[in-house]
Structure 1
Amino acid sequence: MTAFQAFRIHNDANGYRGGIETLQADALSPGEVLVKVAYSSVNYKDALAGTGKGKILRQYPLNGGIDAAGVVVASTSTAFKEGDQVLCTGSGLSETRDGGYGEYIRLPSSWTIPLPQGLSLRESMILGTAGFTAALALVRMEDNRQSPALGPLAVSGASGGVGMLAIDIFTRAGYQVHAISGKSAHFDFLRSLGATECIDRHQLQFSGKPMDSARFGGALDNVGGAMIAGLLPLIVPYGNVAICGNAGGIELDSTVMPFIIRGVSLLGVASAGTARDLRDQVWQHLASDWKPRHLDRIATQEVSLEQLPQVFDRMLGGESFGRTIVRVGNI
């Protein structure tokens, strides 16, 4: 393998910085599967890592990018052979090992997912960690007896990548979705993805009561803080609230009443460390019965490695919309 390009992040005596570098194969983190990367994606976590505005990396230097999809070029694992199309999300990428912002990546075979039939490499990265998180939330909810009969699912932070994909995925799975967003200019777009109702976060007033009239069969909360506290009293008996974000704060000011009177369940969704068997289950759903119908519309931007710093700044400034995918190599 010849030298290749990567967006590499350092934190040393010269300060915190990230940029394009030329690397050799021996610089990559170890793993049984060597992959030529075709696509990655940009998540909020990537923007924090790439700029140093969040403590994401646990060692330095590393290539950024928590998602990767490409083609196997070499493998010492009997599970994979040259030419196989594969993907990986989370699993320590851009935290403890090199991530997807490089033309090549080495992966442990235990974290490498064969690209499911029904998805292209590009589609898998439009989904990426965001789509995986939304689908994982629904798996967890349905494992706890969530069903469309309980009523609509609320999705907070609906204008973000996870929120948009959740609308599309939940609708595909047979649910009505009520989208909650502070960006009312995007409501028509959210309806086009399948939302049956759009609720302006700025006009959403919670009563503050421990219990209120049930309004939602369940919810996926991307916001945290006051949002999750306000949603819990509005969930029907034995509905589920899955939480996967904290853009609105890490505090939870609530009471036990929704839990002990209505049997509401609060489910944590941590996609990065998901067990392999559950990963396979989620990706099979995403490639088949839960595959979003509007992936090309949700992918609003495709960029190169060189354009990443500008993308990070826009995302951290609240100016991004939809999913940004990164074209890493020509495959």
Structure 2
Amino acid sequence: MFKAILIDKVDSTYQARITDLSDEQLPEGDVTVRVSYSTLNFKDGLAITGKSPVVRQFPMVPGIDFVGTVENSTHPKYQAGDKVLLNGWGVGETHWGGLAQKARVNGDWLIPLPLGISEQQAMAIGTAGYTSMLCLMALERHGVRPEHGKVLVTGASGGVGSFAIALLANNGYSVIAATGRLEETEYLKHLGAETVIHRSELSEPGRPLAKERWAAAIDSVGSHTLANVCAGTQAEGAVAACGLAQGMDFPASVAPFILRGVSLLGVNSVTQPYARRVEAWSRLCDELDFHKLTEITREIALPQSLEAASDLLQGKVRGRLVVDVNR
């Protein structure tokens, strides 16, 4: 038996609870992993609280990422004892995820734990750090360079935002951080932000075109914020969009795209090809200041995830929540 968070829905009753499960209940897959750590992401918060229909089938174990040790495997890449990690691939939505002491998954969804980092560090980075690196890589593929101008990061106090600031600053970019919590200004500047602005400058309906303020942006908020980010982007600039904390809608004009040549780059952290996943994690190991992980991260026990999910959705959590599933 092993412990897990289990979400179930009977009639109209939605419930998330800690429970004991057996190996026989695990879903199909060719690799079984003894999970060491998972994390609590925005999507996990939605799943646990039922605030949005993230969970596609019931019962469901949430947790969109995890790291651990292979217990048994019939996949050619992995054998018992290997350290592996997973981001995305529908775990926690359509397939049981990482907020449990065991997981069984398709081995193609895994990558080896990179050398030189611990399991706890891997989940301190987690999907938030991984997504931030994918955004940076997308901007780079578009040709964005530090000399082109400032880069805006929205949702700056959250997990994706915190890592985006640290990664951009480490790569020589001048960063503007937008946050609803100006009391975190010192924290954001320590991560590498040069300027901190209040999110209210971006979160309300705005003009189709605004003053050109940044060469590029990483946005995890969506809705009016993303529309205003695009409106304030310099000619031939780019915006990497990876989240929907404010909403899924995009009440924007085509003006930034057809009058300034702004590019909107969608970043999907769920189903990236193996080579790109490995590249992203390799760069994270090389380009992150691991001394800052302790400032970005707070560790909690598995049962604490239930309460923390609500705090996360209310914007009360700074940085990352790492979940030690074995306590």
TM range (shorter): over 0.9
Q: Aligned residues: percent identity? A: 38
- Equivalent runs, 1:222-301 vs 2, <5 Å: 222-290=220-288, 293-299=291-297, 301=298
- Residues of 1 paired with 2:206 and 2:58: CA distance? 45
- Residues of 1 paired with 2:293 and 2:131: CA distance? 15
- Residues of 2 paired with 1:37 and 1:306: CA distance? 15
Question: Given that residues 225 and 248 in structure 1 are in contact (C-alpha distance below 8 angstroms), is that contact kept between their aligned partners in structure 2?
Answer: yes
Counterpart among 88, 111, 114 of residue 112 in structure 2: 114
Greater CA drift, 244-253 or 189-198: 244-253
- Equivalent runs, 1:6-155 vs 2, <5 Å: 6-13=4-11, 15-155=13-153
Q: 1:251 to 1:98 in 2, by over 3 A?
A: closer
**Tell me, what secondary structure is at the counterpart of 2:323?**
strand
Give the CA deviation at 1:245: 1.9
| 2:17 partner letter | G
Give the CA deviation at 1:110: 0.4
For 2:319, the equivalent position in structure 1 comes to 322
Give the CA deviation at 1:119: 2.1
Give the CA deviation at 1:206: 8.7
Are 1:306 and 2:325 counterparts?
A: no
Question: Given that residues 205 and 224 in structure 2 are in contact (C-alpha distance below 8 angstroms), is that contact kept between their aligned partners in structure 1?
Answer: no
**Tell me, what secondary structure is at the counterpart of 1:227?**
helix
- Residues of 1 paired with 2:105 and 2:296: CA distance? 28
Q: 1:152 to 1:99 in 2, by over 3 A?
A: same
Give the CA deviation at 1:204: 6.0
1:258-307: CA deviation from partner (whole Å, max 9, x where unpaired): 222322100111211222222122111112135655111100x2111111
Greater CA drift, 274-283 or 302-311: 274-283
Give the CA deviation at 1:205: 9.3
| 1:309 partner letter | L
For 2:183, the equivalent position in structure 1 comes to 185
1:119-139: CA deviation from partner (whole Å, max 9, x where unpaired): 221111111111111111111
How many aligned positions are there? 327
**Tell me, what secondary structure is at the counterpart of 1:219?**
strand
Greater CA drift, 307-316 or 186-195: 307-316
- Residues of 2 paired with 1:207 and 1:17: CA distance? 36
Counterpart among 214, 218, 222 of residue 220 in structure 1: 218
Question: Given that residues 304 and 328 in structure 1 are in contact (C-alpha distance below 8 angstroms), is that contact kept between their aligned partners in structure 2?
Answer: yes
- Residues of 2 paired with 1:249 and 1:78: CA distance? 41
Q: TM-score, normalised by structure 1?
A: 0.93
Give the CA deviation at 1:203: 5.0
| 2:320 partner letter | R
Q: 1:53 to 1:242 in 2, by over 3 A?
A: same
**Which runs of no fewer than 5 residues in structure 1 stay unpaired?**
none
**Which runs of no fewer than 5 residues in structure 2 stay unpaired?**
none
Counterpart among 181, 193, 196 of residue 194 in structure 2: 196
Give the CA deviation at 1:232: 1.6
| 2:96 partner letter | D
Greater CA drift, 243-252 or 318-327: 243-252
Over the residues paired in the alignment, what is the CA RMSD in angstroms?
2.0
Q: 1:53 to 1:124 in 2, by over 3 A?
A: same
